[in-house]
Structure 1
Amino acid sequence: MRYARRFTAVLAIGVAASAISADNLPPAPEELGSIRRNAQGQLEVVRTPPASQTSALSAQDDLLAGKEAAQGNALEKKMPGAAASGRTIVVGPQEPVTSIKEAARIARDGDTVEIRSGEYRQQAVVWTQNRLTIRGTGKRPLLIADGDSAEGKALWVVRSAEMSIENIEFRGARVPDANGAGIRLEKGHLKVIRCAFFDNEMGILTSNAADSVLEVEDSEFGEAPKYYTGALHHLLYVGAIARLSVSGSRFQQGFRGHLIKSRARENSILYNLLVDGTGGSASYELEFPNGGLAWVIGNVIGQSATTDNPDLISYGAEGQRWPDNALYLAHNTLIDDKLDGRFLRVWTSRMPPGTEVWAINNLLVGRGTFAPQAPGRYDGNQVVDRSMLVDVHALPFALPSNSPLRGKARPPGFVREQSLTPIAEFHLPAGTRLLPLGKPLSPGALQ
């Protein structure tokens, strides 16, 4: 089970699959000499259609057999052992299907699209298939917008009930509204695994579909465009959906926008590296503008001295949207290089009275201020100077082995029947490593 699921219940997704027009699917072939009963109840012989009317799948089979397809208008590769519920379509310069747009045209519910390594330009598409898996094979395939967009929204627009995208890099999304995304999720349940989003006006952008779910694992976001036309460029911007889960992912190099901004009803932000970097000018590193339920555990979160906003984490700035609101902040390393910065700001005047905040065993590094701002628990938070941290596995955010704080954190306990104890930590370049069972905990994210 992935780490994010320890803290969130799996939600039932009631999104119907989008309709697919008939011309997206190859016609069904009819066999020579088969017999069927007509509308009058009489038996009749079905004749073989002309070769020019053979199906796209038959044409592909002929091609794979070394024969020329009669039409060649839909090229699709069947893989041995493919699941009965779907086919595998392989895309690549040396494959029968050379275009992602062509793969999107012929893909059906339950299919898998494999994209070979390489550079793919102007391959903006809308995905409407249900239970679709898209994955890059080998070195991560690179998708470059090069002025192209799907519906003026994104490189890829997703409108499906269930979809997985793995090992793809998205670059350069630009649209007239200045919110061009690498991926735009409009409805459904989307899992993004080991992907990268650089130099897009938005890395991932979602709609406000109340039953949608977005899960992001082991992915990288960065290089926000350095221009401002009235729209902020967030690396990850999530609307009022049911649930957001982000784990093992890295966010850096923002520009005026946020690293993560989420309006979701429930949020799990676990074991990530959200550090803008030297010279970074992001606004909030992590924001929940409408509150909701937020689990923030085991992250390294840092803002630079040149940040565009003094607050590192913000909760409730735009007021209540959801009936259930609470922030649980445990075992994070919070780094603030801004002289007048704040590690956490809770907008209590804009949220319901009694909104609960727990801040437990966080390591507070740098110049920022930290103070309780809402009812809850505030235990084991430790302030240290930036100079006291050392590199561990190339991450310069850990307590040294001889620190008096090492192994001194008390167990953070449970809330809502969920444990706040970290079970993993971030691992470069993106991903997580499991923590040894039974090891005494230290404050902060890196154990």
Structure 2
Amino acid sequence: MHRLILSGCLISVVSWLLAFPAHGTNWQVGPQRALKLPSAAARLAKDGDVVSIDAGLYQGDVASWPQQRLTIRGMAGGAHLEALGNSAEGKAIWVLKGNDTVVENIELSGASAPALNGAGIRFEGTHLTLRNCHFHHNQMGILTGVNPDSDILIENSEFNDNTVDYPRYGKLGHNIYIGNIRRFTLQNSYIHDASTGHNVKSRARENYILYNRITDERNGSSYLVDLPDGGAGYLIGNLFHQSANTENAAMLAFAAEHNQTQPNQQLYLVNNTFVNDYPGGSFLHNHSIATAMLINNLLIGEATAMIGPNQENHDLKAKANVLLDPASYDYRLKPNAPAIDQGISPGLAANGMLLNPQFVYRHPRGSEKRRQQGPLDVGAYEFIAKQPD
């Protein structure tokens, strides 16, 4: 083996490279690997490392991850962490403590904790990206702390059935619960079947909810989206469904808990499709004094349109028969739907953000380019006529 002489000491090239990796070590985890469980990698990984987990089921394994700039990814087919009621630190399957963390292609289920908030992930650092992940049947899906400098991005992911037995314990479980951070972005994702709790709850100062399917389906949530501290909210191109057995009459809530009298807030709802099966419910309950701006939304169902200050521009109320297959949550437009060509260009928000919808949600947990033909259609989808052969 070649040797490197450094300060009079003999150090193998291999050992030196391991001690000072140029791009971090890639720790491989799997039944046929030296590291059998993700928790083993959590004890060994250093800042800047990558943990690659072979596809398969990892039962009962939980871990805390203190590393900075860490990437954890499931390999082809995805890695499933099934906690079987366990949780690290009494918090979550994975407690992520470092900054600049990326998690990809991971499924997390079955977490519970004595405080009844056992999550798939508890994030305690600054800046997190979740991509192509699935959180289900935990007490909480994801739960994050308070960090005014943190940005969190969730994309191409699914959250469902993360809940607590409320009649028994008097506690709420949410699919997504984001604490007081700087910016939260949720895009191209499928969030559904919260029971009693919320599908999405975020206390971030800025919230970008873009091109998602957020639906009650089998269960009845409290809110589909709750932004309890107000702030800035941009909800563009989403599919929203509220079931008849919802726990709250409003589909979306803004500033229900704090900052109701703060005038410097923004809420934009642009080119969303709302389907409300709850008679007498509302599409939006804006608790703040700020005016919610609604543009090109398709409103389906017998519901009070909006509660609280709002300005509607080219919203359209219609019946479910304008949708291709509402029973299967296919909210594309039928030919000759009144929403076709009835929208306007939303332009820019007050802070210069472009509001024009760029994509449409593609099930499951994806998106594709919005192909506009003529004037913009109302709702989350453009009607695309079949092209001749």
TM-score (norm 1): 0.79
Amino acid at match of 2:321: S
Counterparts of 1:177 and 1:331, CA distance in 2: 39
Structure 1 residue 440, shift from structure 2 partner: 3.1
Q: Number of residue pairs matched?
A: 376
Other-structure match for 1:8: none
Paired residues for 1:262-411 under 5 Å = 262-278=202-218, 280-320=219-259, 324-348=264-288, 353=289, 355-371=290-306, 373-374=308-309, 377-391=311-325, 395-411=329-345
Residues 33/367 of structure 1: CA separation in 2 closer, same or farther (3 Å cut):
closer
Residues 136/381 of structure 1: CA separation in 2 closer, same or farther (3 Å cut):
same
Residues 33/130 of structure 1: CA separation in 2 closer, same or farther (3 Å cut):
closer
Contact 1:292 1:323 (C-alpha < 8 Å) held by counterparts: no
Counterparts of 1:236 and 1:324, CA distance in 2: 26
Other-structure match for 1:71: none
**Structure 2 stretches lacking a partner, 5+ long:** 383-389
Paired residues for 1:5-404 under 5 Å = 34=5, 36=7, 46=9, 84-225=22-163, 227-228=165-166, 229-278=169-218, 280-320=219-259, 324-348=264-288, 353=289, 355-371=290-306, 373-374=308-309, 377-391=311-325, 395-404=329-338
- Which digits, 9 at most, give the CA deviation of each residue in 1:81-101, with x for residues without a partner? xx8221211111111211111
Structure 1 residue 264, shift from structure 2 partner: 0.4
- Which digits, 9 at most, give the CA deviation of each residue in 1:32-80, with x for residues without a partner? 89573xxxxxxxx5588xxxxx99x85xx9xxxxxxxxxxxxxx9x9xx
Structure 1 residue 230, shift from structure 2 partner: 2.2
Counterparts of 2:309 and 2:125, CA distance in 1: 34
Other-structure match for 1:12: none
- Which digits, 9 at most, give the CA deviation of each residue in 1:78-133, with x for residues without a partner? 9xxxx822121111111121111111111111111111100001221111211111
Counterparts of 1:236 and 1:225, CA distance in 2: 11
Other-structure match for 1:425: 360
Amino acid at match of 1:276: D
Counterparts of 2:276 and 2:270, CA distance in 1: 17
Contact 1:164 1:192 (C-alpha < 8 Å) held by counterparts: yes
- Which digits, 9 at most, give the CA deviation of each residue in 1:275-318, with x for residues without a partner? 1104x121000011110100000000111001111110000110
Amino acid at match of 1:426: Y
SS at match of 2:303: coil
Residues 324/130 of structure 1: CA separation in 2 closer, same or farther (3 Å cut):
farther
Other-structure match for 1:435: 370
SS at match of 1:371: strand
Amino acid at match of 1:406: I
Contact 2:181 2:203 (C-alpha < 8 Å) held by counterparts: yes
Contact 1:32 1:46 (C-alpha < 8 Å) held by counterparts: no
**Structure 1 stretches lacking a partner, 5+ long:** 1-30, 37-44, 49-53, 62-75
Counterparts of 1:101 and 1:173, CA distance in 2: 15
Amino acid at match of 1:333: T
Structure 1 residue 438, shift from structure 2 partner: 5.9
Contact 2:85 2:112 (C-alpha < 8 Å) held by counterparts: yes
Moved over 4 A (4+): 31-35, 45-48, 321-324
Counterparts of 2:329 and 2:80, CA distance in 1: 27
Contact 1:335 1:366 (C-alpha < 8 Å) held by counterparts: yes
Contact 1:257 1:283 (C-alpha < 8 Å) held by counterparts: yes
Question: Which of these two proteins has the greater Rg computed from alpha carbons?
Answer: 1
Other-structure match for 2:387: none
Structure 1 residue 213, shift from structure 2 partner: 1.5
Comparing 366-375 with 428-437, greater Cα deviation is found at 366-375
